[in-house]
Amino acid sequence: MSDNYQLESKHIDQFVKEVQRWCRFFNIGTYEVGVDENASDASRASCWADVSNGLAIISVNKVWDVEPTRKHLSRAAFHEVVELLLIELASLAASRFASEDHLEVARHRVIITLENSVWKDKFR
């Protein structure tokens, strides 16, 4: 049986800072991103987005199955921001109206975002 760890306000604050850091790193400017403390499932955090309106909410669960260390908080924030980065692809894949062209545009949007964030210091 695993232990449960209650997140304190300092953990929530750290999670929010990490979400903001990764959003800046990936230059996630196409979404207005909010962070709240209401993850509704058993996961440590979750991401919801309204692709058409550019709104996103990254939620953190107040109870975790691992100790909420700085490393775990940063990794969870990173995971949810990458979920946001890929959410348009997931939305298109689920749509029966998506064309091959729509998927290609969304795929390349992710690639360009990664190029502009991962490689920016090397090639600018």
pLDDT given at position 36 = 92
pLDDT given at position 123 = 56
The CATH topology of domain 5-123 is: Zincin-like (3.30.2010)
Residue ranges per structural domain of the chain: 5-123
pLDDT given at position 67 = 95
pLDDT given at position 22 = 94
- Name the pTM for this structure: 0.85
Q: Which residues of the chain have pLDDT under 50?
A: 1
Residue pLDDT, tens place only, 74-87 = 999 999 999 999 99
Question: Cβ distance 5 to 63 under 8 Å?
Answer: yes
pLDDT given at position 30 = 86
pLDDT given at position 124 = 53
- Averaged pLDDT of the chain: 89
Burial letters 50-73, b for 16+ CB under 10 A, else e: ebeeeebbbbbbeebeeebeeebb
